[in-house]
Structure 1
Amino acid sequence: MENSILGIPTLPAFFSIFLLIYLFAYFVVFRNWGPKHRPEASSCLISLAHGPTAAIMSMYSILHSHKAPTFASPNDTFQNTILEFSIAYFFLDLLHYLFFFPSDVLFILHHLATLYVFTTCRYVVHHGAYAILVLLFLAEITSGCQNVWTLASYRRADSPAAAKLYDFLSPRFYVFYSVFRGFLGPLFMFKLGLFYASGAAEPKIPRWAWVSWMVVILIAIGLSILWVLNLWIDWHRNKVQKKET
């Protein structure tokens, strides 16, 4: 049965909401920003609308499951709603990258892979959302801080306040991100991989599905670790350079 909001299917409803936020950001909030940072900042705003909300909804779903769930449990209505909420966001942000930054292949592939996992879980397999939402929580819990940090980075050259905020947030955000993406994420991925490899998910989650999901998850977590590692290296290098000058 299709979920709906006021009679409107949730997926197009969520997409419309994110689109309105994006357009408001682009034409109102960031209208005076430069041609490069204006669309990037607009993307950050829809990410701010998605990330913390998705994290809260995912945690609520995880903590308030009516039955003791497994990683292969059938998706319930609320879990499907969260998946649709995230599908709407990632699809719009994918369009954003295709239109403004078509050469940013890594982000485009990331969004396509994420959409693959969410859509197959929601519309094809109909099982396994519990595990996907744990991963969504671990990924999006850092989103609010990351987007504020990103917006500050765009303005730090022009605004002393933004530069100060960026410098303040950087090490704290890196620690926050490292804990969730660099430690808890891989730990949960390992636990999930053991469950899938044991065969406990089959036939509810076909092998092609869980294997492909694990490949996407493994690559995503690996890239996240490399990204934050590079940030730590740059931060340390800049700190050393400041001491030397």
Structure 2
Amino acid sequence: MFFTAYLTANFAVFRRWSPKLRPEAASCFISLLHGTPAVLFASLSISQTPAAASPPSTTDPQNTVLDYSIAYFSMDLVHYLIFYPSDLLFIGHHLATLFVFVTCRYLVAHGAYAILVLLILAEATSFCQNTWTLASARRGDLDVAAKVYDLFVPSVLCVLLCG
């Protein structure tokens, strides 16, 4: 699914963008495609999990969110390995995230509740980062991109500086 979305973004959605900008835009596109449904599905799956003193076994809806996220992170990791092999921060982030998701899903089958809460928080910031990245790429030639970029600069800087 994410491979098809990546190709669609690269060759259809962003076809009028510079070939230099399209890979990063396609990566942002699949990140946005992952983020919103992941937040909705994760929220739904954890809301259906009863409170317990110890972490319950991972439920089928939680496994679905983990599988969806594993697919996204795998595709985006391939993207970074091909187009940005020296970006060790993002590559390391994707590898670490995949390790956690795969371990939770396939090895221990526990702990998804906590991981999905973190996923919800992470994807909220990811939306801002992807919007800012896309606006940054085109702010020099599109007024609306410059306005969006300027709108997001304070929040992105706050996240980067305040951590």
* 8 Å contact from structure 1 (residues 98, 108) kept in 2: yes
Q: Where does residue 37 of structure 2 map in the other structure?
A: 53
Letter in 2 for 1:161: V
* 8 Å contact from structure 1 (residues 71, 128) kept in 2: no
Rounded to whole Å, the distance in 1 between the matches of 2:38 and 2:4 is: 18
Rounded to whole Å, the distance in 1 between the matches of 2:54 and 2:81 is: 33
1:30 matched to 2:11: no
- Superposition RMSD on alpha carbons, in Å? 1.8
Of stretches 162-171 and 103-112 in structure 1, the one that deviates more from structure 2 is 162-171
Q: Where does residue 104 of structure 2 map in the other structure?
A: 121
SS of 2:76's equivalent? helix
Letter in 1 for 2:16: N
Cα displacement (A) at 1:107: 0.7
Cα displacement (A) at 1:119: 0.2
Q: Where does residue 118 of structure 2 map in the other structure?
A: 135
1:72 matched to 2:4: no
TM-score scaled by length of structure 1: 0.62
Number of equivalent positions: 163
In 2 relative to 1, CA 173–104 (structure 1 residues): closer, same or farther, beyond 3 Å?
A: closer
Q: Which of 109, 122, 128 is 2:92 aligned to? A: 109
Residues 12-23 of structure 1: matches in 2 within 5 Å?
Answer: 17-23=1-7
Q: Where does residue 96 of structure 1 map in the other structure?
A: 79
Rounded to whole Å, the distance in 1 between the matches of 2:152 and 2:52 is: 37
Residues 68-217 of structure 1: matches in 2 within 5 Å?
Answer: 68-70=51-53, 72-172=55-155, 178=159
Letter in 2 for 1:96: H
Rounded to whole Å, the distance in 2 between the matches of 1:63 and 1:162 is: 36
1:46-82 CA deviation, whole Å, 9 max, x = no partner?
Answer: 00100111111111122222x2245622100000000
In 2 relative to 1, CA 168–59 (structure 1 residues): closer, same or farther, beyond 3 Å?
A: same
Letter in 1 for 2:109: H
Letter in 2 for 1:139: A
Give runs of ≥4 in structure 1 deviating > 4 Å: 172-175
In 2 relative to 1, CA 141–71 (structure 1 residues): closer, same or farther, beyond 3 Å?
A: farther
Rounded to whole Å, the distance in 1 between the matches of 2:135 and 2:141 is: 10
- Work out which of the two has the higher radius of gyration on C-alpha atoms and give 1 or 2: 1
Q: Where does residue 199 of structure 1 map in the other structure?
A: none
* 8 Å contact from structure 1 (residues 121, 127) kept in 2: yes
In 2 relative to 1, CA 128–24 (structure 1 residues): closer, same or farther, beyond 3 Å?
A: same
1:149-188 CA deviation, whole Å, 9 max, x = no partner?
Answer: 211011011222211121022224556xx4xxxxxxxxxx
1:229 matched to 2:133: no
Q: Where does residue 14 of structure 1 map in the other structure?
A: none
Rounded to whole Å, the distance in 2 between the matches of 1:69 and 1:144 is: 31
In 2 relative to 1, CA 79–159 (structure 1 residues): closer, same or farther, beyond 3 Å?
A: same
* 8 Å contact from structure 1 (residues 57, 82) kept in 2: yes
